[in-house]
Chain A
């Protein structure tokens, strides 16, 4: 089969302030503000009129506005005021904004923008207005690239708007690597795929001739680690996203390797190696090939994940008799158990903010995705179903994506996201069944 390939780094995005900030509004000041940590949130009403066509923009002017609106609405924190309700038309990017018209329809934020396409280049600029305080929020920004990257331009605008209003980092301009599934339950075909965070721009990275499991992005998004059965045995495999070249790592006869994850500096891989029925954690340094054993126990040690500062590793082990979560230093040694509730805990993943650990929990025949502090306190379950597993964090540590599989002969896996307060559960649209998502960092 042919593998379609589009490098992740196809564009250099120019990021520059367009206008001297008349109102040097910081995300932290002014009335236009969403506190994500607050309990109940009334979504903030906003409007995104079609962007102004400043030459050759065609459909892009409308489509970019639509993607921005979908990004913001998709968080559950914002509610779009439909275009039909707009009183004001924005026909020029530089003309002043009619605040009264937007106030009248209760739009608290308005995003205006303009698009130019010429010579194989698309330029997108935007401004964000705080309607009720009657001023622009932050500077205008401009993004440029090739026309096929128009969705990324839209995501960048939405990220900027989200950031300014919430004070949090954005996550829309990101990719998700996952396993695309087809075929019946007893003959499932799996192949690696990558898509935008919202399900658009799917590319397949492998064919389905052998089982592939649990891909993970490198910290810079240029490489992917996963488990492949291409040799007939599970082996951790490293793929270069640009060239799609693959390399089997830590191959040793008579062993099985799986559950790989990068260190935050991208130079090491922590994973499970099974020998004689026993799985332990190992660390491989990619440059030197140096292999170090981190755990040495007759129990199952697997699903390791680094803390973002690289100093610690959280993993699951059944050394106590059931699967529980443990934290140890990045060089191994003594581990302390952090999970304390009833049930079985697995697949821990450290938040990119460093403040929480997401996990899978099995209890009384149900599966949950949950989060806890890194010391195991303040456990909260965000989901419940027949089978939820394998959380992955959005780059800003505010949203979690995971696999949900339905039961029975026709059971199928799909990708879902939920925010860390347990709100806004959504299915990510994918062409077919999908599992094992892993979020990239925010793209450059």
Chain B
């Protein structure tokens, strides 16, 4: 048997996932480099046009320049100083661009059991939400979701990857006040 049909099948499966998967991913994907676009549950998300990163009103600008994610130490959900700076920038941007709503995704690295990591991701998402609220972003523009360890962006089993996976990502969507 040639490997080709298998490879095609795999590609086909991915194609399907990209079309149908209602799960959101960090809109920027790994390092904000595009990839698996966002996708809000309701389907009212812009999955293709993230815009010009030089346009301060674009999603691409938010993802890359403002920074759409904050990272956490092992088994922690308290924000780092760097995290708070990023979130202050997010808050500012969200106040200026009030037509966007957000979903804050909390994630964990693979060093933990599934259920605990779901709870830990939820704590991280809530930390971000609370900080954004404290900076003036209305609570009704935000929702949180935890993916636990289900959606790593880096795949190695060492701290270099784990550090990137312990994250909370602020995913933009059109339509404030959902």
Contacts and interface: CB of A to CB of B under 8 A. Distances in A.
Given A277-B122, A302-B115, A256 B23 contact: no
Q: Which of A278, A279, A316, A386 has the most CB of B within 10 A?
A: A279
Contact of A277 (B20, B77, B147, B150): B77
Nearest to B145: A233
Nearest to B30: A186
A303 B115 contact: yes
Interface stretch (B46-54, B55-63, B153-161): B153-161
Contacts of B13: 182-183, 189, 208
A36 interface: no
Contacts of B21: 209-210
Given A186-B153, A234-B145, A277 B127 contact: yes
Contact of B156 (A233, A303, A346, A409): A409
Contacts of A278: 122-123, 126
What is the interface of chain B mostly: helix, strand, loop, or mixed?
A: mixed
Interface residues of A, number: 51
Nearest to A300: B119
Contacts of B150: 188, 190, 211, 213
B91 interface: no
A183 B14 contact: yes
B126 A302 contact: no
A407 interface: yes
A354 B16 CA distance: 45
A203 B157 CA distance: 32
Contact of A300 (B17, B42, B116, B155): B116
Interface in B2-49: 10, 13-14, 16-17, 20-24, 30, 36, 40-42
Interface stretch (A158-166, A224-232, A325-333): A224-232
A436 interface: yes
B132 interface: no
A186 B155 CA distance: 6
Interface in A191-245: 208-211, 213-214, 229-234
B137 interface: no
A411 B157 contact: yes
B136 interface: no
B155 A184 contact: yes
Contacts of B155: 184-186, 408-409, 411
B17 A183 contact: yes
A405 B41 CA distance: 30
Interface of A: 182-190, 208-211, 213-214, 229-234, 254, 256, 258-259, 272, 274, 276-279, 300, 302-303, 316, 318, 323, 346-347, 360, 362, 386-387, 389-390, 405, 407-409, 411, 436
14 contacts: A183-B17, A184-B155, A186-B30, A186-B152, A209-B17, A258-B115, A277-B125, A277-B129, A300-B116, A300-B120, A346-B116, A408-B155, A411-B110, A436-B114
Given A185-B152, A210-B23, 15 more contacts: A186-B154, A187-B17, A189-B13, A189-B17, A209-B16, A209-B20, A232-B22, A272-B119, A274-B122, A276-B126, A300-B116, A316-B115, A386-B157, A389-B114, A409-B156
Q: Top 4 closest A-B pairs, CB basis?
A: A277-B126, A232-B41, A407-B157, A300-B119
